[in-house]
């Protein structure tokens, strides 16, 4: 039974704004994990939301507790509450109110701000209101103070840019710039699978579920687990993924379906359709961004890729394949032109039946449910992100198009190979985000719950209940599914030209940065990590002119504004309620 029933209203308010904070984290921050995948057409919005639901939730529940302890106990000195549990409940509730409100405003205006900095600044504001500047841990504080967190302004983007740039450099000169792109991509892919699997394994072990205590295993055991997991995934990629993509990309087997993936080595003997050799496009998705709307545009082709790729064919596989040009676009093919966002919205309005008469009439109730309620709930998974990222007609669209012209685009077949890796890295990033950023909402609320249930100020180290982590993870997923599109429209191709190979490098560089930081309990901002990785890959890809520095400037301004806005709002709320007249 709770011991502080007189503060039930504070607990209820804290629960509501914890939900709102987690919802806006999903809407504002989860786009960081999947915006590149959706922008490069490796995933649709529906697929991204489905994968995010799994990865975010598992990351929050399994490995979110360690970082939430930093948010809950590492920012404000516990002595500032003077052993008054009611004051602690009020302080953390005001922090959640300020953080959630600022994130809601930022998300509504498509500002990709740092959700981590929002709650940290709010907690600092609460500390100043309660006991002055001295109660806030401004320094390093063993990796848990404000000094550690705000160092991320420079550290997180720089490290992520370095990781992302190095990954893309390897990809660019080991595969994309080589004469036989497809052959090289197929050869090097198992190495990528091994590396991605190893990083994901490290995230589970080093930040693993507290109940499993995986990070306390002997060093040799941990090293073996990481290496063996990576090797198993690499071997499985050779046995199942390699023959599948070989049939799809090299043999152009357009009859191949996703379930054929599980045929594994049997696919080496699968005969493609008789007309497969004459196919020049359509057997793999069109990942191009810059030239999609130009019917006369063709990408560089390499007929020798077919001969080189056949070197991978084992005995007993299909023989006699003809030399064909890869990624040649038929001149008669009509390009698909994405309608501007405003036109899409106008079309939706014109096709919606109008309510006539009383709203309670059966026909009007059906219109409300079908075209208002259901359409509103599903708008997030049906939104045309690519049309929105092209920019509005006029100078904005011209500026984005000019930026894209600075970047080379590579063959669809080669990019298709990296789309699988990009999905893996997106899931890794999403898992890391769920583990790292769920703390921003549930950390303060877990303190509220502990005080409300036990009637005492929280001790230095208290566990975060699993149901709170699950609640936060669920709200993050709902936020992405219903409103994440608003942030995805502001990222992706608006920052630099996207493709599966570039997106893979960005996501993997950001994932490594987030996972390493979370291992040490440092709540870095995923926004800063993916932003830095995007800039790093963009520079390596096409130089400084290939990056939309104006957009990056607005993003950086949002990071800076978050600190005074959230901190001042939380401090004022706390000071107002603590010192309010009462009778």
What secondary structure, in 3-state letters, does 220-267 show?
Answer: HHHHHHHHHHHHHHHHHHHHHHHHHHHHHHHCCCCCCCHHHHHHHHHH
Instruction: Specify the pLDDT at position 290.
Output: 60
pLDDT bucket at 347, cuts 50 / 70 / 90: very low
276 DSSP assignment: G
268 DSSP assignment: G
Helices (H), 74-218: 85-108, 115-131, 146-150, 152-171, 181-206
Instruction: Specify the pLDDT at position 103.
Output: 93
**Which tens digit of pLDDT belongs to each residue from 46-84?**
888 888 888 888 878 776 665 555 565 566 766 777 778
- 93 or 557: which carries more pLDDT confidence? 93
Instruction: Specify the pLDDT at position 344.
Output: 39
* Length in residues, the chain: 583
Residue 211 has pLDDT above 60, yes or no: no
Mean local confidence (pLDDT), 366-371: 74
371 DSSP assignment: I
Residue 105 has pLDDT above 80, yes or no: yes
pLDDT bucket at 342, cuts 50 / 70 / 90: very low
pLDDT bucket at 221, cuts 50 / 70 / 90: confident
Residue 320 has pLDDT above 70, yes or no: no
Mean pLDDT is lowest, of 327-331, 387-391, 411-415, for 327-331
Query: What percent of the chain has pLDDT above 90?
Result: 15
**Cα–Cα distance, 362 to 358 (Å, whole number):** 9
Mean local confidence (pLDDT), 484-508: 87
Bridge partners of residue 256, in order along the sequence: none
Residue 40 has pLDDT above 90, yes or no: no
pLDDT bucket at 1, cuts 50 / 70 / 90: low
**Which tens digit of pLDDT belongs to each residue from 142-192?**
656 667 667 777 788 888 899 999 999 999 888 888 888 888 889 888 998
b/e map of 442-472 (b: 16 or more CB within 10 Å)?
Answer: bbbbbbbbbbbeeeebbeeebebebebbbbb
Residue 525 has pLDDT above 60, yes or no: yes
Query: What percent of the chain has pLDDT above 70?
Result: 79
Asked whether the beta carbons of 482 and 27 are under 8 A apart, the reply is yes
Instruction: Specify the pLDDT at position 303.
Output: 39
Average pLDDT value over all residues in the chain: 78
Residue 20 has pLDDT above 90, yes or no: yes
- Identify the top-confidence range among 297-306, 378-387, 541-550: 541-550
Mean pLDDT is lowest, of 22-26, 101-105, 153-157, 472-476, for 153-157
Instruction: Specify the pLDDT at position 142.
Output: 62
């Amino acid at each position: 039974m709770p011991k502080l029933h007189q503060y039930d209203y504070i607990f209820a308010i804290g629960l509501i704004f914890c939900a709102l904070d987690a919802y806006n984290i999903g809407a504002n921050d989860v786009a960081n994990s999947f915006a590149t995948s959706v922008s490069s057409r490796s995933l649709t919005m529906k697929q991204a939301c489905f994968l995010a639901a799994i990865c975010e939730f598992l990351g929050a529940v399994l490995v979110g507790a360690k970082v939430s302890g930093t948010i809950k106990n590492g920012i404000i000195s516990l002595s500032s509450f003077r052993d008054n549990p009611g004051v602690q409940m009020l302080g953390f509730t005001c922090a959640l109110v300020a953080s959630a409100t600022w994130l809601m405003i930022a998300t509504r205006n498509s500002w990709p701000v740092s959700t981590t900095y929002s709650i940290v600044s709010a907690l600092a504001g609460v500390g100043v209101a309660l006991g002055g500047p001295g109660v806030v841990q401004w320094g390093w504080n063993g990796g848990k103070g404000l000094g550690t967190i705000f160092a991320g302004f420079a550290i997180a983007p720089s490290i992520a840019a370095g990781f992302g740039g190095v990954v893309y450099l390897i990809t660019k000169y080991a595969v994309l710039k080589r004469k036989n792109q497809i052959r090289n991509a197929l050869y090097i892919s198992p190495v990528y699978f091994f590396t991605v699997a190893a990083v994901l394994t490290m995230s589970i072990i080093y930040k693993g579920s507290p109940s499993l205590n995986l990070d306390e295993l002997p060093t040799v055991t941990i090293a073996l687990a990481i290496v063996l997991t990576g090797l198993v995934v690499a071997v499985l990629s050779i046995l199942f993924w390699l023959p599948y993509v070989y049939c799809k990309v090299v043999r152009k087997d357009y009859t191949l379906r996703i379930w054929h993936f599980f045929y594994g080595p049997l696919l080496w003997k699968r005969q493609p359709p008789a007309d497969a050799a004459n196919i020049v496009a359509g057997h793999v998705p069109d990942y191009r961004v810059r030239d999609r709307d130009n019917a006369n545009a063709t990408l560089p082709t390499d007929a020798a890729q077919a001969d080189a790729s056949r070197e991978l064919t084992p005995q007993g596989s299909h023989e006699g394949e003809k030399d064909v040009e890869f990624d040649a676009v038929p001149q008669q093919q009509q390009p698909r032109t994405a309608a501007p966002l405003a036109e899409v919205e106008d079309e939706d309005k014109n096709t919606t039946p109008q309510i006539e008469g009383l709203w309670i009439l059966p026909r009007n109730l059906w219109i409300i449910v079908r075209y208002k309620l259901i359409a509103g709930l599903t708008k997030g998974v049906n939104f045309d992100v690519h049309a929105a990222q092209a920019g509005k007609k006029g100078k904005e669209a011209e500026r984005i198009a000019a930026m894209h012209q600075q970047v080379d685009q590579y063959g669809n077949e080669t990019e298709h190979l990296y789309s699988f890796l990009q999905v893996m890295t997106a899931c890794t990033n999403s898992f890391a985000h769920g583990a790292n950023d769920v703390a921003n909402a549930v950390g303060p609320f877990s303190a509220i719950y502990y005080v409300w249930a036990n009637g005492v100020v929280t001790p230095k180290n208290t566990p975060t209940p699993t149901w709170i982590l699950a609640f936060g993870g669920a709200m993050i997923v709902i936020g992405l599914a219903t409103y994440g599109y608003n942030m995805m429209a502001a990222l992706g191709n608006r920052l630099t030209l996207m493709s599966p190979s570039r997106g893979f490098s960005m996501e993997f560089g950001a994932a490594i940065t987030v996972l390493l930081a979370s291992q040490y309990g440092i709540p870095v901002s995923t926004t800063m990590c993916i932003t830095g990785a995007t800039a790093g890959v963009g520079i390596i890809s096409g130089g400084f002119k290939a990056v939309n520095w104006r957009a990056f400037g607005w993003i950086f301004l949002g990071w800076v504004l978050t600190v005074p806005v959230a901190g001042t709002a939380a401090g004022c709320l706390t000071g107002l309620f603590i010192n309010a007249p009462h009778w």
